[in-house]
């Protein structure tokens, strides 16, 4: 699963850019995110007969617990980005949010 939020998405909205242009921008960002996931999967070895791919637009800290609740997995694996401690305190952390909100086990990969 990859949850993406296009760069400058909120700025385009606040600048009054038309909905049509914002939607085109999001579609292009979705295509890019799907290509990134495809390229990532190619680098990983293993049996992927039952691999489910999900790429969604949104903010990860809100979407990830929502999707995990819907799918009810036994385990969620989240990647830890190399943010500084101050950034985590000020901005929040998707990983910390997932750890506190998840109803299942969470494995943090760093």
pLDDT digits (tens, 9 = 90+) for 28-51: 999 999 999 888 888 877 776 667
Residues 78 and 110 reside in one and the same domain = yes
68 pLDDT exceeds 70?
yes
Confidence of residue 67 (pLDDT cuts 50, 70, 90): confident
pTM above 0.85, yes or no: no
Residues 1 and 34 reside in one and the same domain = yes
Q: What is the mean pLDDT of the chain?
A: 81
Residues 8 and 53 reside in one and the same domain = yes
Stretch (H or E) spanning 27: helix 19-43
Residues 22 and 54 reside in one and the same domain = yes
Residues 10 and 53 reside in one and the same domain = yes
* Domain encompassing residue 2: 1-58
What's the token pair of residue 99?
A: 């750890």
pLDDT at 31: 94
Residues 84 and 50 reside in one and the same domain = no
Residues 17 and 70 reside in one and the same domain = no
Residues 69 and 51 reside in one and the same domain = no
CA distance 70 to 110: 25
- Among 14-18, 23-27, 62-66, 79-83, the range scoring the smallest mean pLDDT is 79-83
Q: What is the mean pLDDT of residues 64-75?
A: 86
Give me the half-sphere count of Cα atoms (radius 13 Å) on the Cβ side of residue 92. 9
CA distance 96 to 106: 10
The number of distinct structural domains making up the chain is 2
What's the token pair of residue 110?
A: 């760093």
């Amino acid at each position: 699963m990859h949850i993406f939020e296009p760069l400058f998405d909120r700025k385009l909205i606040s600048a009054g850019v038309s909905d049509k242009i914002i939607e085109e921008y999001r579609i292009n960002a979705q295509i890019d995110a799907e290509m990134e996931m495809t390229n990532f999967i190619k680098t990983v070895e293993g049996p992927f007969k039952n691999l489910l791919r999900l790429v969604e637009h949104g903010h990860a800290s809100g979407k990830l617990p929502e999707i995990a609740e819907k799918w009810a997995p036994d385990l969620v694996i989240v990647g830890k980005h190399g943010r500084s401690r101050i950034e985590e305190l000020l901005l929040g952390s998707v990983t910390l949010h997932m750890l506190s909100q998840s109803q299942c086990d969470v494995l943090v990969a760093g």
